[in-house]
């Protein structure tokens, strides 16, 4: 078994360069600013950064509308700044992955401009056209309520074009071999500039070929294999992390047989976690985890609590979703696209440290690789005065200084959260850094623990039966070591009786505190958990040479 799969034990941190740190005082975050904050990120312990799109863009969908795949948005710096940044990130032991947005371009991209001028010319077949307005033009919108249709008439081309997202994001015809070559070329370019892979945007639509009249390929999934093969040749240890909010039956196709995506976000676990937390009942999450197929050995789930989009609860039943809405975002203004919540984690959980820690502890110990959203390590909140998903994309809160220390300019690119319990005067890096009990320092410690527990990233896992439905217990086994992690999703304290799932009666050594557990009554353990309590145990072995028993045998 190859042990070089770095992403199995990685801690990924997502940020938008535009809102992280302004290095030149013009109000917009940039690569110079981000570079200065590498010490902070290394100190936090993250091992991989995921950068949201930073290429030239009309910026009508936060950069997910790219007009030049080979450049840097001049507001954020230039290619030289980018390379200086990736170089320095490497010196800090931090890998960088970037968004790969190739389901669509901006309508300002020269390919689309050429295509609409001359639909029969070279670039015409780069996009998806129809002579008549398709019957399903007002179906399948990703942003219901804000996006009126999926087909728009282009006056210049005198044709309708398909766009899964907004009308300024025409879909590329990825069945066209020339478009596929372009995608690989884009990947090759950024790999050469130091990135370790890509978060691939909108993957389910990349394999859908909707509206394409004469697809140039028979098997749409072959694109994912081409991407993986190319990636592996150009950079053996680079990864593809898929944004694919799909069912567990479908997800198998995205992983392939060690030949498509290495990582896929676990949207199902994410949504059911919130339902479980709302109900104080681990069952929905347990059911979601049990649905997970066995993964090929290079494959891995990516776990997250929040990201830059709405918290999408679209896979829950209407009733279940309403239940979560009522508990975590009851006001209409907190909800979005009929399916989600436009809030950050800490504010959704009312700043309740017990629930925030439970949520993070769980995310760090679910089967897979954890992915954090910048600012959540501090407990930042949202600004509901901003439209749609912008509410959770406010600048990083560095200090209590003006504009949270994000910029010296008078006007930041987006207003900071400045008032209330989550405003930057209350929630910021500078103050939390000095406070050993702060959420920032807690996060730093939990990240350290996660990295020191490779069983969690690599191990075979199974769900253990507990005597309490509020508690999720998972056992991991890897290379002769085992861990058992417990999470009480309910506010009520409880005592669980637990069979650790191994052959022998073993003590359980607590990795986070001195609160260890000895077996009682044969192999069984009896563990008392506070409301929202969590435990990370390493299963003990009888080895007298081990002085520090919570350490793994390596």
**Contact positions toward ligand NOJ, by CB under 6 A?**
61, 64, 101, 165, 201-202, 243, 308-309
Q: Interior CA angle at 339 toward 334 and 342, to 5°?
A: 30
In the bound state with ligand NOJ, the residue whose beta carbon lies nearer, of 76 and 482, is 76
DSSP H helices in 329-366: 345-348, 353-365
The answer to whether 30 and 16 are in contact (CB under 8 A) is no
For residue 536, give Cα distances in angstroms to 44, 180, 293, 517.
20, 45, 25, 11
CB of 100 to ligand NOJ, least distance (A): 11
The answer to whether 196 and 48 are in contact (CB under 8 A) is yes
In the bound state with ligand NOJ, the residue whose beta carbon lies nearer, of 53 and 423, is 53
CB of 475 to ligand NOJ, least distance (A): 33
Collapsing DSSP to helix, strand or coil, 510 comes out as strand
Collapsing DSSP to helix, strand or coil, 539 comes out as strand
In the bound state with ligand NOJ, the residue whose beta carbon lies nearer, of 204 and 280, is 204
530 vs 505: CA distance, rounded Å: 25
Strand partners, 377: none
CB of 309 to ligand NOJ, least distance (A): 5
In the bound state with ligand NOJ, the residue whose beta carbon lies nearer, of 64 and 458, is 64
For residue 464, give Cα distances in angstroms to 475, 502, 523.
7, 11, 14
CB of 178 to ligand NOJ, least distance (A): 22
Q: Interior CA angle at 346 toward 341 and 350, to 5°?
A: 90
What's 400's DSSP letter? Answer: S
CB of 201 to ligand NOJ, least distance (A): 5
In the bound state with ligand NOJ, the residue whose beta carbon lies nearer, of 170 and 540, is 170
**Is 201 a catalytic site residue?**
yes
Instruction: Name the token pair of 155.
Output: 């006056």
**Is 320 a catalytic site residue?**
no
Which residue of the chain is nearest ligand NOJ when measured via CB? 64
The answer to whether 66 and 56 are in contact (CB under 8 A) is yes
CB of 63 to ligand NOJ, least distance (A): 9
66 vs 57: CA distance, rounded Å: 5
In the bound state with ligand NOJ, the residue whose beta carbon lies nearer, of 200 and 282, is 200
Catalytic residue, chosen from 30, 65, 81, 201, is 201
Catalytic residue, chosen from 154, 243, 320, 382, is 243
The answer to whether 355 and 349 are in contact (CB under 8 A) is yes
Q: Catalytic site residues? A: 201, 243
């Amino acid at each position: 078994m190859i042990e070089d799969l770095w992403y199995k034990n990685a801690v990924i941190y997502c940020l938008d360069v535009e809102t992280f740190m302004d290095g030149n005082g013009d109000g917009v975050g940039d690569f110079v600013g981000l570079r200065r904050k590498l010490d902070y990120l290394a100190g936090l312990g993250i091992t991989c950064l995921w950068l949201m799109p930073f290429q030239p863009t009309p910026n009508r969908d936060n950069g997910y509308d790219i007009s030049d795949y080979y450049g840097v948005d001049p507001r954020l710096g230039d290619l030289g700044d980018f390379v200086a940044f990736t170089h320095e990130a490497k010196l800090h032991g931090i890998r960088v992955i970037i968004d790969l947005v190739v389901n669509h371009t901006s309508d300002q991209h020269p390919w689309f401009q050429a295509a609409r001028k001359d639909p029969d010319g070279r670039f015409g077949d780069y996009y998806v056209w129809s002579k008549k307005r398709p019957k399903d033009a007002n179906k399948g919108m990703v942003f219901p309520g804000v996006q009126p249709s999926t087909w728009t008439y282009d006056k210049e081309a005198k044709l309708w074009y398909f766009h899964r997202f907004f009308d300024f994001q025409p879909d590329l015809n990825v069945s066209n071999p020339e478009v596929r070559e372009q995608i690989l070329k884009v990947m090759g370019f950024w790999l050469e500039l130091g990135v370790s892979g890509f978060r691939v945007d909108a993957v389910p639509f990349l394999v859908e070929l909707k509206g394409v009249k004469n697809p140039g390929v028979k098997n749409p999934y072959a694109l994912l294999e081409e991407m993986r093969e190319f990636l592996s040749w150009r950079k053996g240890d680079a990864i593809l992390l898929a944004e694919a909010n799909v069912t567990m039956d479908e997800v198998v196709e995205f992983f392939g047989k060690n030949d498509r995506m290495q990582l896929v976000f676990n949207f199902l676990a994410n949504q059911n976690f919130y339902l479980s937390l709302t109900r104080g009942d681990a069952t929905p999450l347990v059911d979601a985890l049990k649905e997970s197929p066995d993964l090929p050995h290079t494959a891995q789930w990516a776990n997250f609590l929040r990201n830059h989009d709405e918290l999408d609860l679209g896979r829950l039943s209407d009733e279940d979703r309403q239940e979560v809405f009522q508990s975590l975002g009851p006001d209409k203004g907190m909800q979005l696209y009929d399916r989600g919540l436009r809030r950050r984690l800490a504010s959704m959980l009312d700043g309740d440290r017990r629930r925030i820690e439970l949520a993070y502890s769980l995310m760090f110990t679910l089967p897979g690789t954890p992915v954090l959203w910048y600012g959540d390590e501090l407990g930042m909140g949202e600004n509901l005065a901003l439209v749609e998903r912008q509410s959770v994309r406010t600048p990083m809160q560095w200090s209590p200084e003006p504009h949270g220390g994000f910029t010296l300019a008078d006007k930041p690119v987006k207003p900071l959260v400045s008032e209330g319990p989550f405003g930057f005067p209350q929630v910021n890096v500078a103050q939390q850094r000095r406070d050993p009990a702060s959420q920032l320092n807690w996060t730093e410690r939990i990240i350290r623990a996660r990295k020191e527990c490779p069983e969690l990233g690599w191990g075979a896992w199974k769900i253990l039966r507990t005597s309490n439905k509020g508690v999720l217990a998972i056992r991991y086994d890897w290379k002769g070591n085992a861990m058992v992690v417990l999470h009480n999703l309910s506010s009520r304290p409880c005592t669980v009786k637990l069979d650790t799932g191994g052959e022998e009666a073993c003590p359980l050594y607590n990795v986070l505190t001195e609160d260890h557990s000895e077996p009682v009554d044969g192999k069984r353990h009896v563990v008392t958990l506070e409301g929202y309590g969590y435990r990370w145990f390493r299963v003990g072995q009888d080895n007298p040479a081990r002085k520090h028993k919570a350490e793994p045998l390596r």
